[in-house]
Amino acid sequence: MKHTKRKRQNNVVWVTLLFCVVAAVIPKPAGAQDLAQFEKRLTEFTLDNGLTFLVLERHEAPVVSFHTYADVGAVDEVRGITGLAHLFEHMAFKGTKTIGTKDYQAEKVTMAKMDEIFLELKAERRKGDRADKARLEQLQNQLKEAQEQTQEYLVHDEYEEVLSREGSAGFNAYTSQDATQYIVSLPSNKMELWMVMESDRFANPVLREFYKEREVVMEERRLSVESQPVGRLLEEFMAVAYKAHPYGDHIVGHMSDIATLTRAEAEKFFEQYYSPSNLTIAIVGDVDPDDVKKLATTYFGRIPSRPKPDPVETVEPPQLGERRVVVQDPAQPFVLIGYHKPDIHHPDDAVFDAITDIVGMGRTSRLHKSLVKEKRIAVAASGFQGMPGVKYPNLFLFYAVPARGHTNEECEEAINAEIERLKNELVTPEELAKAKTRARASLIRQLDSNSGLAAQLTFYEVVTGDWRSLFKQLDKIEKVTAEDIQRVANEYFTTKNRSVGIIRTTEAGT
């Protein structure tokens, strides 16, 4: 499945209502008017078990997009089970007690046997050098045989194929630090089919092919982190920037954790974090809200209620000084500079949005113009907020890729010079106006499809507590002043609050 680290600024999604949005961001009375009109088309309700639905009518075409937002991501893991949120995404469409199996009761027996063998194998491996090699080989063979036996009962990819036959599009899942999301679009006359399938996935999940998918994730880590210089740098950098908060751990998890995860641990994780109260579903398209509510009550209402999990309580302590990490690799040099900043709820969040646009976004940004076009010391340079998530205090990240013949030190010095400009000089009225205009244009692009709108509705509903924040964010950016930007830069972009990571190029083999 596809997975991503969500950067709200760069990866936010799309909707239509272009006319309404354009009007909504000009005079405030028009904005309120259009938001009111938008509210008329949106129905929200919560089932008795705590599951929230957002239903937006858009009858332009006979299609509907479904977006299930689970308020659980890598940040919710604890040491020893890192990577489990992402691994669960891989398990999400393996089926249920009735989907994906020829004989669930027989399959259940073989899966239990497989779990038992793996626990024995895990215990023997713990012995390290004292492990019985013959016993290890025997258990590995037994595990392989049990996996092959389990395969006899599988109907591979049945969940996805059922939806595909009925005209699905955009079938996918995403894991980030903050959330796990499941999406699909279907013809509007297939809404009840989706209700049956999706509710069964949460009511009767079966984590089949668990150990096989775990190997897939381990290979994914090798490809995306361990064999990628920038991937290795980013993992090292985040571990240095965070010494307490779980934002410091990579989404894919530590290899040793992935290698020892059990199906029982995954089932426990599901019980804790996939409760109805921790799910929000947006349905956008050619639907009748009354029909949606009836079907949702029938199918999703059967899922037992469980308490919503507590949020992460660990607080990252203030840095006592600059932190640096160097990755030595025969790869192109690379420099990262990160500053701790507040979460999305902080009043200065919109100021960081404006700074992102002025300093880091696109070919007209200050960093690109200075480092790439004028000084020609970098082939790429940018900056953005929200790394690696936005629910909790996060990082404003600057980066540059030095051009041939130039160094990390040159790029770091040039980035610092641009930061000092923010501190000592007010941004120009033209820059600020462009940032606000681009914010409006960006939202219009983001409001360009049923699927994109569903994603935005769930994100703002869960993370900010109100889907209306989708519109209010523009009002906040509109109020940002040049003085706000200067104040924020001086408050947060300090040496003491800075972490730096670089790839230092070495000769191959050294």
What's the pLDDT tens digit per position in 214-255? 999 999 999 999 999 999 999 999 999 999 999 999 999 999
Provide the 10 A C-beta neighbour count for residue 62.
10
What's the pLDDT tens digit per position in 365-388? 999 999 999 999 999 999 999 999
Bridge partners of residue 165, in order along the sequence: none
Asked if residue 381 belongs to a domain, the reply is yes
Q: Quick one: pLDDT at residue 508?
A: 67
Q: Quick one: pLDDT at residue 37?
A: 74
Alpha carbon 125 to its chain centroid, in Å, reads 33
**Does residue 244 share a domain with residue 367?**
no
Asked if residue 401 belongs to a domain, the reply is yes
Query: 2 falls in which pLDDT band (50, 70, 90)?
Result: very low
Q: Quick one: pLDDT at residue 458?
A: 97
Task: Say which CATH number the domain at 300 has.
Answer: 3.30.830.10
The sign one gets for the Cα dihedral 19, 22, 24, 26 is negative
> Which 3 state secondary structure label does DSSP give 447?
coil
63-72, 107-116, 442-451: lowest mean pLDDT where?
442-451
Q: Are 115 and 150 in contact (CB under 8 A)?
A: no
Query: 510 falls in which pLDDT band (50, 70, 90)?
Result: low
Instruction: State mean pLDDT over 186-193.
Output: 97
Q: Quick one: pLDDT at residue 426?
A: 97
**Does residue 289 share a domain with residue 394?**
no
- 255, 288, 310 - which closes a domain: 310
Nearest CA among 371, 460, 353 for reference residue 409: 371
Instruction: State mean pLDDT over 441-461.
Output: 87
**Does residue 172 share a domain with residue 125?**
no
Query: 177 falls in which pLDDT band (50, 70, 90)?
Result: very high
**Does residue 163 share a domain with residue 145?**
no
**For residue 341, what is the enclosing H or E element?**
strand 334-341
31-35, 98-102, 202-206, 244-248: lowest mean pLDDT where?
31-35
Query: 6 falls in which pLDDT band (50, 70, 90)?
Result: very low
How many structural domains comprise the chain?
A: 3
DSSP 378-398: EEEEEEEEEES-SSS-EEEEE
Asked if residue 451 belongs to a domain, the reply is yes
Asked if residue 62 belongs to a domain, the reply is yes
**Does residue 149 share a domain with residue 215?**
no
**Does residue 416 share a domain with residue 296?**
no
Query: 446 falls in which pLDDT band (50, 70, 90)?
Result: confident
**Does residue 230 share a domain with residue 137?**
no
**Does residue 423 share a domain with residue 373?**
yes
Q: Quick one: pLDDT at residue 34?
A: 64
What's the pLDDT tens digit per position in 458-480? 999 999 999 999 888 888 989 99
| Domain encompassing residue 132 | 102-153
**Does residue 147 share a domain with residue 180?**
no
- The two three-digit tokens of residue 180, written as one number: 């796990």
Percent of the chain at pLDDT > 90 equals 83
Can the peptide bond before residue 330 be classed as cis, meaning omega within 30 degrees of 0?
Answer: no
Asked if residue 329 belongs to a domain, the reply is yes
pTM above 0.75, yes or no: yes
Asked if residue 11 belongs to a domain, the reply is no
Q: Quick one: pLDDT at residue 506?
A: 87
Instruction: State the average pLDDT for the chain.
Output: 90
**Does residue 410 share a domain with residue 331?**
yes
Asked whether residue 62 carries a pLDDT value surpassing 90, the answer given is yes
